[in-house]
Chains A and B, each alone.
Chain A
Amino acid sequence: MSVVPTPVLTANWGQERSWKLKKYLAGGGFKAAKKALGLSPEEVMGIVKDSGLRGRGGAGFPTGVKWSFVPQDNPNPKYLVVNADESEPGTCKDMPLLLASPHTLLEGIVISSYAIHCHTAFVYVRGEVAHVARRLQGAVAELYEAGWLGKDIQGSGFDLDIIVHSGAGAYICGEETALLDSLEGRRGQPRLRPPFPAVAGLYASPTVINNVESIATVPSILRNGAEWFQSMGTEKSKGFTIYSLSGHVANPGQYEAPLGTTFAELLELAGGIRAGHELKFFTPGGSSTPILTPADVDLPLDYEGMVGAGTMLGTKALQVFDETTSIVRTTLRWSEFYKHESCGKCTPCREGTWWLVQLLKKLEAGQGQEGDVDKLLAVCDDINGLSFCALAGGAVACVTSAVKHFRPEFELGYTTPAWEAYPYERSALFAGGAK
């Protein structure tokens, strides 16, 4: 790969006390915010729009366009809510960012809030990460003290408050309308759309919900310009992103690279599959995206490329599994995740995930009956596309793509337990990985 203008987001990770404001400022922090406050909000929005930045939380919706949907003539307050609920299995980019450099996000929030005329912004961070909450709380306190939050920020006339809000354990709250209900103090179940959050979101007011990484990218765009961002990535997927590699790679970790990088290229950066093993399958963007196989390693990992391959870029969470892995086991465990996280609102997800887990458990135990694999697919058909939100779609994609690529292994479940066909301890990163 030729010389690549990243890392950007991860550039200051690992520096001594990188999370402190003093350190962040010394590294050039808040220059972008200063620049933004010197422009008009509309100009700032225009820059982000022009950059082509797309939401990094999985949906890939153009961020600047989302901001422009906010009706500025609506008399209600405008809200920015940062979705830091990172819970899609395999996704692990936002938590390290918030630990290492919360100010990257917070500077992004200042700029983004300014652009949409928001004066109260929220960071909804998943509850199961106490230290991330601390780093955010500490950073926000530093900004109030330094005059980067509160009234008349840095003499610009712009007021902004940031509220850090911890969740309490619910993957569904990563869905933006469920997040809003949760933030309002309710059960986190998705809402009907229309109305769309941009028009009636938090407290029935115009609201923009963006992923951590999306907002964290904004300062770099203001610093270097839309063209700079456009110079990276592919035609429709501009810029860079953090690819998370985990599993049976030699060096799992966060790999920032331009969009369109291939899995093969990332694998090379990550030292390849662990020694003595070979790739069996991987997820491009978390467990909710259809799996890919060794045949797909040279596909560009961008939004269009993945859709073209019948999957999705999602959260760029590349979970890598080698030949020691039982796909029946992983599919079952992911299905148990969806069943546990199903909010219960709609029939197909609530009941369907209950059923899928039972079928997969039988197959894992080698107790499947002839026809169970077809039954599995038939149940998926009765769920897919018929649910209230996309959680069920993810649950189904996980199953159908696994069966598509590894049907014989599922059918083996009619006779043989998965742990016999693929002894579980062999998949563990250490000796003795039990069933």
Chain B
Amino acid sequence: MSAIDERTMAELQEIAQRYPQPRSGLMPMLHLLQSVEGYVSDAGAEAVAELLGLTVAQVLGVATFYTQYRRQPGGKHQVGICATALCAVMGGDAVYQAVSDHLGIEDGQTSEDGLFSLERVECNAACDFAPVMMLNWEFMDNMTPEKAVKILEDLAAGREVQPRRGAKITSWQENERVLAGFYDGRADEGISAGEPSLRGKKAAEERGWKGESK
């Protein structure tokens, strides 16, 4: 009952051929498997092993090394709340607690309705937007417990959620396809830069700093 069909096999091949050496395609191939099946299944791992001439043990050795690969199905959306020191101190722990209470699940679990998987994630390179939540690996900046819960409520109710610095939320699987290297044409969604990103530039302009002479 595997969803690894001919089209997926062809796309897996395509990924392998992108690189000077096919094995380099392994990580994007695993992302593709996740976009198709929602996780790295045994069948998926076997297909990839066969294609690359590796053993399944080797493929799983790679799949279990990296945090983003799941070996079990998860929710439609992946909710990642940064738990590294700075975000945690800035209020990330409170955001996590609120989300956990709201969904009724803990780190590593999926909500009963299958909509959300909750995860404590590591620093996601948006510290000036702390506390940060990642939704299917889209930036949800400057979170508070209320904002975070509202976003999840909106998603559950089928309402649109548009991150400022990202593309409208669709699903974890759809974003996995982007990570597999299949551009979905949506780069033009979202803004250029959030306010914190521009503060230095603004401060410079206020002080008359020249920048590059034209």
On whether A and B touch (CB less than 8 Å), the answer reads yes
Q: Do B97 and A7 touch (CB < 8 A)?
A: no
Q: Provide the residues of chain B in CB contact with A128, threshold 8 Å.
A: 68, 80, 121, 124, 134, 137
CA distance A251 to B122 in the complex (A): 23
Q: Do B124 and A165 touch (CB < 8 A)?
A: no
Q: Provide the residues of chain A in CB contact with B89, threshold 8 Å.
A: 247, 321, 325, 329-330, 333, 424, 427-428, 433
Asked if A139 lies at the interface with its beta carbon under 8 angstroms from chain B, I say: yes
Smallest Cβ distance from A163 to chain B, in angstroms?
6
Q: Which of B157-214 contact A (CB under 8 A)?
A: 163, 165-167, 175, 178-181, 183-190, 192-201, 203-204, 207-214
Q: A17-B188, A127-B66 are in contact. Are A7 and B126 (CB under 8 A)?
A: no
Q: Do A252 and B27 touch (CB < 8 A)?
A: no
Q: Which of A1-38 contact B (CB under 8 A)?
A: 1, 3-8, 10-11, 13-20, 28
Smallest Cβ distance from A228 to chain B, in angstroms?
8
| Chain A window 237-277, contacts with chain B (Cβ cutoff 8 Å), 1 for yes, 0 for no | 00000111111100111111100000000000110000000
Interface residue count on the A side (C-beta < 8 Å): 106
Asked if A334 lies at the interface with its beta carbon under 8 angstroms from chain B, I say: yes
CA distance A427 to B131 in the complex (A): 12
CA distance A336 to B82 in the complex (A): 12
Asked if B130 lies at the interface with its beta carbon under 8 angstroms from chain A, I say: yes
Q: Provide the residues of chain B in CB contact with A429, threshold 8 Å.
A: 90-91, 130-131
Q: A91-B127, A163-B19 are in contact. Are A11 and B183 (CB under 8 A)?
A: no
Q: Do A220 and B212 touch (CB < 8 A)?
A: yes
Smallest Cβ distance from A348 to chain B, in angstroms?
20
Q: Do A185 and B125 touch (CB < 8 A)?
A: no
Taking CB as reference atom, which chain B residue is nearest A334? B85
Asked if A404 lies at the interface with its beta carbon under 8 angstroms from chain B, I say: no
Q: Provide the residues of chain B in CB contact with A8, threshold 8 Å.
A: 211-212
Asked if A296 lies at the interface with its beta carbon under 8 angstroms from chain B, I say: no
Q: Provide the residues of chain A in CB contact with B214, threshold 8 Å.
A: 28
Q: Do B126 and A330 touch (CB < 8 A)?
A: no
Q: Do A166 and B28 touch (CB < 8 A)?
A: yes
Asked if A193 lies at the interface with its beta carbon under 8 angstroms from chain B, I say: no
Q: Do A187 and B127 touch (CB < 8 A)?
A: no
Q: Provide the residues of chain B in CB contact with A137, threshold 8 Å.
A: 178, 181, 183, 187
CA distance A11 to B213 in the complex (A): 12
Q: Provide the residues of chain A in CB contact with B138, threshold 8 Å.
A: 130-131
Asked if A383 lies at the interface with its beta carbon under 8 angstroms from chain B, I say: no
CA distance A223 to B195 in the complex (A): 28
The stretch that binds B, out of A109-117, A167-175, A302-310, A406-414, is A167-175
Q: A89-B85, A252-B127 are in contact. Are A187 and B211 (CB under 8 A)?
A: no
Q: Do A257 and B128 touch (CB < 8 A)?
A: no
Asked if A357 lies at the interface with its beta carbon under 8 angstroms from chain B, I say: no
Q: Which of B44-80 contact A (CB under 8 A)?
A: 52, 61-62, 65-69, 80
Q: Provide the residues of chain A in CB contact with B126, threshold 8 Å.
A: 92, 95
Q: Provide the residues of chain B in CB contact with A141, threshold 8 Å.
A: 183
Partner of A168, one of B20, B66, B93: B66
Q: A8-B212, A253-B198, A333-B83 are in contact. Are A430 and B144 (CB under 8 A)?
A: yes
Taking CB as reference atom, which chain B residue is nearest A318? B127
Asked if B3 lies at the interface with its beta carbon under 8 angstroms from chain A, I say: no
Q: Do A134 and B204 touch (CB < 8 A)?
A: no
Q: Do B68 and A138 touch (CB < 8 A)?
A: no
Q: Do A126 and B125 touch (CB < 8 A)?
A: yes
Partner of A130, one of B18, B85, B178: B178
Q: Do B209 and A3 touch (CB < 8 A)?
A: yes
Q: Provide the residues of chain A in CB contact with B9, threshold 8 Å.
A: none
Q: A168-B69, A244-B128 are in contact. Are A138 and B187 (CB under 8 A)?
A: yes
Q: A95-B125, A128-B124 are in contact. Are A169 and B68 (CB under 8 A)?
A: yes
Q: A166-B181, A430-B144 are in contact. Are A337 and B209 (CB under 8 A)?
A: no
Asked if B151 lies at the interface with its beta carbon under 8 angstroms from chain A, I say: no
Q: Do A131 and B166 touch (CB < 8 A)?
A: yes
Asked if B30 lies at the interface with its beta carbon under 8 angstroms from chain A, I say: yes
Partner of B193, one of A14, A134, A336: A14
Asked if A421 lies at the interface with its beta carbon under 8 angstroms from chain B, I say: no
Asked if B25 lies at the interface with its beta carbon under 8 angstroms from chain A, I say: yes
Asked if A234 lies at the interface with its beta carbon under 8 angstroms from chain B, I say: no
Q: Which of A400-435 contact B (CB under 8 A)?
A: 424-425, 427-430, 432-435
Smallest Cβ distance from B71 to chain A, in angstroms?
13
Smallest Cβ distance from A166 to chain B, in angstroms?
4
Q: Do A169 and B88 touch (CB < 8 A)?
A: no
Q: Do B88 and A170 touch (CB < 8 A)?
A: no
Q: Do B178 and A11 touch (CB < 8 A)?
A: no
Q: Provide the residues of chain A in CB contact with B85, threshold 8 Å.
A: 89, 287, 319, 329-331, 333-334, 337
Asked if A77 lies at the interface with its beta carbon under 8 angstroms from chain B, I say: yes
Additional A-B contact list (12), CB under 8 Å, known A246-B130, A253-B195, A329-B85: A7-B200, A87-B123, A127-B27, A128-B124, A131-B139, A134-B183, A166-B31, A167-B66, A224-B212, A224-B213, A424-B93, A432-B145
List 30 A–B pairs whose Cβ atoms lie within 8 Å, in order of A's numbering: A10-B200, A14-B192, A14-B201, A16-B192, A87-B125, A90-B127, A91-B127, A92-B125, A99-B190, A129-B124, A129-B125, A131-B138, A133-B179, A137-B178, A137-B187, A166-B179, A169-B69, A170-B65, A185-B52, A187-B65, A224-B212, A244-B127, A254-B196, A254-B200, A257-B200, A269-B200, A287-B85, A333-B89, A334-B84, A337-B85
Binding site for B on A (CB under 8 A): 1, 3-8, 10-11, 13-20, 28, 77, 86-92, 94-96, 99-100, 120, 126-131, 133-135, 137-139, 141, 163-171, 182-188, 203, 220, 223-224, 242-248, 251-257, 269-270, 287, 317, 319, 321, 325, 329-331, 333-334, 336-337, 340-341, 343, 424-425, 427-430, 432-435
Give the top 4 A-B pairs by smallest Cβ distance, nearest first. Answer: A138-B187, A253-B199, A169-B67, A428-B91
